Amino acid sequence: MSADTIFGKIIRREIPADIVYEDELCLAFRDITPQAPTHVLVIPKKPIPKLADASAEDKELLGHMLLMVKSLAEQLGIAEDGYRVVINAGTDGGQTVFHLHMHLLGGRSLQWPPG
Ligand code: DGP
């Protein structure tokens, strides 16, 4: 059993979030500290703490999330110019909330490499 996080509270509507999409498997909402004009987080409703905790049984879920990111980029008007999809995986990866999430960032030209 994984520990509850702030994202679990957002899924259960215990705290507010600017939700942009939801289906039976996933939720997408705007990041509270946006790093780009468009910064949305896509999370599974299943509480997988980090990418290293995902397993073969999550294959369909992970593919679903990635396709959701693609659709959201189109919906949010950043698909044509381009965008970045990031998963911070574990402490050295910069992960601070231990509920798996994909960052969708766009609306400006992004630098590489990240810090
Ligand atoms: P990461 O560093 O990859 O674990 O990213 C966590 C992100 O979650 C970070 O960009 C800020 C965002 N975040 C943290 N708390 C909240 C919250 O309460 N609401 C929203 N919308 N975003 C949050």
In a domain, 114, yes or no: no
108 CA distance to ligand 1 middle (Å) = 20
Which tens digit of pLDDT belongs to each residue from 98-112? 999 999 999 999 999
| Confidence grade of residue 2 (pLDDT, cut at 50, 70, 90) | low
Strand partners, 42: 28, 102
CATH code (residue 34)? 3.30.428.10
Q: Is the CB of 19 under 6 A from ligand 1?
A: no
Q: Is the CB of 29 under 6 A from ligand 1?
A: yes
Range of the domain at 11: 6-106
| Confidence grade of residue 3 (pLDDT, cut at 50, 70, 90) | confident
Predicted pLDDT at 112: 96
Query: Quick one: which H or E segment has residue 22?
Result: strand 19-22
Contacts of 91 (CB under 8 A, 6+ apart): none
- The catalytic position among 39, 99, 101, 103 is 101
Task: Assess whether 64 carries a catalytic annotation.
Answer: no
